[in-house]
Amino acid sequence: MMRTVPIRQPLADARGSVASVACLAEPRASASGLRTGRAVLLFLASMAGAGAATVAADSTRGERLFTSLSCVECHSVNGVGGNIGPDLGRRIDRNFTVASLASTMWNHAPTMWAAMRERDIRIADMDEQGAADLFAYFYSARFFDKPGDAGRGKRLFTERACALCHGLAESIKPGINPVGQWNALTDPIALTEAMWNHSPNMFTEFKLKKIPWPALSGQDLSDLLVYLRNLPSTRGTAGMFETAAGSNGEAIFQSKGCVRCHHSGSSLAPQIKGRTLTEIAAEMWDHAPKMKAQPAHFNPGEMRELLSYLWARQFFEDSGDAGHGKRVFAAKHCEACHGDSSTGAPKLTGSAFSGITMVSALWHHGPRMLEQMKSKGVRWPRFDRREMSDLIAYLNSPGRGK
């Protein structure tokens, strides 16, 4: 049985020009003590430009919508729910983005609506907030790190040489805090920050004793944490997995000297594509010994800013090609209605299009669009993920629609 960890409510942080943020909560015990679900709060924004509106998406609300919009009658998420449609938890992979949700929903909508009509299920309205919340729910069902294994964590504590300097309840070396006094047990990022800051101590000691660098994977970090948080001396430590706004990330990336070896945060995106935050944290740890100079010291919270920033770059920057999107817009017949005011289709202007708006527009206007398309003999469009991103980039491109 997995042990559930009490958890503070993740706090929304809506300051500044947020690119995207997520608060990821670890296993959360409900009042009934039965649930081991995870709450996710994502801040989604189109990366299109400054001033883009940010939507705070909450997986708990999304879970409720999944029921109130009747999705649950036909779909299950990880085994719970109906089986007329596919299990959505299983379909969603780690590269799941808002644009990919939008493209699958568009592709399947006519069949889905027919199934709904057959069963007399009303297509209830879904606004942008609803679409964002649903996304957060699907995301939480799939994207999380595997839960930690305390037994493995216990072995790692010795095998990775932590036990060489740290006691559990009592200090075993003068001046070195035992685990019971650590402040860094809230989540993997805080732990990574503390470990990173003391890497110089470790270099020296390890060199002396000829111990290899104690590399850790994301799973190792989770296992270590579950073990350390549930010792007699630490039990009750609040667990919390939160990402920061990431808005200072670029500045930290500069000031910590990452730019000495990496061009920019975005340049790392392909290398860390599809990784969870914990995995990126573990990678940071693993390459501490590769830093030629002394690794920079991180003040409290800076590691979180930096990693959130890197993670958001690779995860949400789903930048499409506006030129190709223009061709998609024509080839899928969008232009035929939306470029001709006599059809009554609104001119799609503005710069706030995202996967989220495409999902809500589909749910909101789709049935009427489908009728019009049928009467004009236009086939319902299908998109792959790339085409959806390109289309969004085109709709957002400056000067279009003027």
288 near ligand HEC, rule: CB under 6 A: no
Considering Cα of 228, then 231, then 234, then 237, what sign does the dihedral take? positive
75 near ligand HEC, rule: CB under 6 A: yes
Closest distance of CB 74 from ligand HEC, Å? 3
Interface with ligand HEC in residues 342-381 (CB under 6 A): 343-346, 348, 361, 365, 368-369, 372-373, 376, 378, 381
Of 10-18, 46-54, 146-154, 329-337, which segment contacts ligand HEC by CB under 6 A?
329-337
Question: Measured between alpha carbons, how far is 14 from 28 in angstroms, rounded to an integer?
Answer: 23
Pick from 205, 184, 186: which is nearest to 196 by CA?
A: 184
Closest distance of CB 32 from ligand HEC, Å? 25
Cβ 246 vs Cβ 18: under 8 Å: yes
Closest distance of CB 31 from ligand HEC, Å? 26
Helix (H, G, I), strand (E, B) or coil at 24: strand
Q: Give the per-residue contact string, 252-271, with ligand HEC (x = CB under 6 A; - = no).
A: ----xxx-xxx-----x--x
Question: Which residues make Cβ contacts (< 8 Å) with residue 386, sequence separation at least 6?
Answer: 320
Question: Measured between alpha carbons, how far is 99 from 33 in angstroms, rounded to an integer?
Answer: 35
102 near ligand HEC, rule: CB under 6 A: no
Pick 32 or 375: Cβ nearer ligand HEC: 375
303 near ligand HEC, rule: CB under 6 A: no
Total residues at interface with ligand HEC (CB under 6 A): 80
DSSP string, 161-204: TGGGT--SSS-SSTT---GGG-STTS-HHHHHHHHHHTHHHHHH
Residue type, 182: W
Cβ 351 vs Cβ 52: under 8 Å: yes
Question: Measured between alpha carbons, how far is 243 from 310 in angstroms, rounded to an integer?
Answer: 11
161 near ligand HEC, rule: CB under 6 A: yes
Q: Would you report the helix, strand and coil content of the chain in percent, each value rounded to 5?
A: 50, 5, 45
Interface with ligand HEC in residues 174-233 (CB under 6 A): 176-177, 181-184, 191, 194-195, 197-198, 201-202, 205, 214
Interface with ligand HEC in residues 42-71 (CB under 6 A): 69-71
Cβ 26 vs Cβ 38: under 8 Å: yes
Closest distance of CB 3 from ligand HEC, Å? 19
Of 3-11, 26-34, 79-87, 230-238, which segment contacts ligand HEC by CB under 6 A?
79-87
Closest distance of CB 329 from ligand HEC, Å? 7
